[in-house]
Amino acid sequence: MTTATGAALSNAGLTILSEDEELFRASVREFAEGEVRPRVEAMEHASKLDPEIIRQCFELGLMAIESPEEYGGAGSTIFNAIVAIEELARIDASVSVFVDVHNTLVTNAFMRWATDEQKKKYLTQMAESRVGAYALSEAGSGSDAFALKTRAFDKGDHFELTGQKLWITNGNEAEIFLLFATVDPAAGYKGITAFIVEKGFEGFSVGKKEDKLGIRASSTTELILDNCKVPKENVLGEVGKGYKVSIETLNEGRIGIAAQMLGIAQGAYEAALKYTAEREQFGSTLNSFQAVQFQLAEMAVEIEATRLLVYNAARLKDAGKPFVKEAAIAKLYSSRCAERVSSKAIELFGGYGYVKDYPVEKFWRDSKIGSIYEGTSNMQLQTIAKLIMPKK
């Protein structure tokens, strides 16, 4: 980047951001520190997002970062989206994933695959007040996403969907669901179709909410479809082309999850820095001991490497260049980084790190999901291996 772009060094050190990107980061950080942080403990205990936080996410434009201005969005970049996700995760991963899924999965899919009429109707609603969710997974189809059993039956002027979805982020808050079902099981992945399902559609209901290890304020629910009636005009893309929608949407979504893990690592690291500067043992603060300094330095190195991987994947996506390998690498490495850094932070806190009075045990619990959702670590390795192997 040149000086003409208004580039400036970020507080992360090595990564260069434009002035507009720095201002955006600062505004999200102000919101995260001032509004989210005071509510983290209560949301964690209630296992529910504060409605006021949801309202403010819409008011601040955090739910329509990439949406075109004509539909009420900011018309910005995925880079700014991942900056927002990172900053929110630095304080609370549950709020972060709430914003992440709405932006990088649902809004992203509508922008790429929706008709003009669908965009006008749904992108506008999702910019104003209606939360989106992405419904692909089922009890028997996780990494093998195309083993899904949910059926869509053509009834002439509408489809009827029958089946169950599992592990759906934003399930309780969402009113608009991007849901995948097959119109022809015998056709394999070529039968999968993407549907826009509204919460109020006949035959649709939200099932149980999962009781999770981490990201507890984020709702992860079951969806039940009992002859759910979906209008023909609510097919997203083409009938039988849902596999393409799902794969290509998840490719971008993985950059968002990587940003979430980066934010978790940063939050845990900052907590450890502060604690070791205050805690005294043997007549000195913990950070005066070289062994502790070296551990903090290792944490800083891992976080900076992660940040560069995540930002690089986002920059490639925004530039319209191939980014699938880089997104997989960023997600794989960031999930490992978040686990390692938050675990080390617990150790630096000692006994206090193991109790809920201090924040680092939550960072560790929140980090574990990074190696599981939107493609497990093994699936990321498979993607990376496929893309680095010589062509035969």
User: 229 and 194 in one domain?
Assistant: yes
Give the global pTM: 0.94
Confidence (pLDDT) at 143: 87
Tens-place pLDDT, residues 158-211:
999 999 999 999 999 999 999 999 999 999 999 999 999 999 999 999 999 999
Q: Which of 201, 226, 242 is the last residue of a domain?
A: 242
User: 206 and 87 in one domain?
Assistant: no
User: 278 and 342 in one domain?
Assistant: yes
Q: What is the CATH number of the domain that holds 369?
A: 1.20.140.10
Instruction: Report if residue 123 sits inside a domain.
Output: yes
Q: Which of 242, 264, 281 is the last residue of a domain?
A: 242
Taking a C-beta distance cutoff of 8 angstroms, is the pair 204, 229 a contact? Answer: no
User: 324 and 253 in one domain?
Assistant: yes
Written as six digits, the tokens of 297 are 């330095």
Instruction: Report if residue 87 sits inside a domain.
Output: yes
Instruction: Report if residue 1 sits inside a domain.
Output: no
Confidence (pLDDT) at 1: 34
User: 94 and 166 in one domain?
Assistant: no
Q: Which of 197, 213, 242 is the last residue of a domain?
A: 242
Which range marks the domain in which residue 222 is found?
133-242
Q: What is the CATH number of the domain that holds 110?
A: 1.10.540.10
- Distances 53 to 59, 98, 195 between C-alpha atoms, Å: 10, 11, 28
Instruction: Report if residue 177 sits inside a domain.
Output: yes
Question: How many Cα neighbours within 13 Å face the side chain of 204?
Answer: 24
Indicate the number of domains in the chain.
3
- Strand 174-182 to strand 131-135: parallel, antiparallel, or no bridges (unpaired)? parallel
Confidence (pLDDT) at 7: 35
Supply the residues annotated as catalytic.
374
Instruction: Report if residue 2 sits inside a domain.
Output: no
User: 237 and 206 in one domain?
Assistant: yes
- Distances 20 to 222, 296, 363 between C-alpha atoms, Å: 40, 31, 29
Mean pLDDT by 10 residues, the chain (392 residues): 34 68 98 98 98 98 98 98 98 98 98 98 98 96 88 97 98 98 95 98 98 98 98 98 96 97 98 98 97 98 98 97 98 98 98 96 98 96 96 80
- Distances 88 to 137, 263, 278 between C-alpha atoms, Å: 25, 7, 25
Residues with Cβ < 8 Å from 1, sequence gap 6 or more? 7, 16, 18
Q: What is the CATH number of the domain that holds 166?
A: 2.40.110.10
Instruction: Report if residue 45 sits inside a domain.
Output: yes
User: 150 and 112 in one domain?
Assistant: no
User: 122 and 29 in one domain?
Assistant: yes
- Measured in residues, the chain has a length of 392
H helix or E strand, kind and range, residue 161: strand 158-169
Instruction: Report if residue 95 sits inside a domain.
Output: yes
Tens-place pLDDT, residues 342-371:
999 999 999 999 999 999 999 999 999 999
User: 263 and 175 in one domain?
Assistant: no
Instruction: Report if residue 38 sits inside a domain.
Output: yes
Confidence (pLDDT) at 15: 60
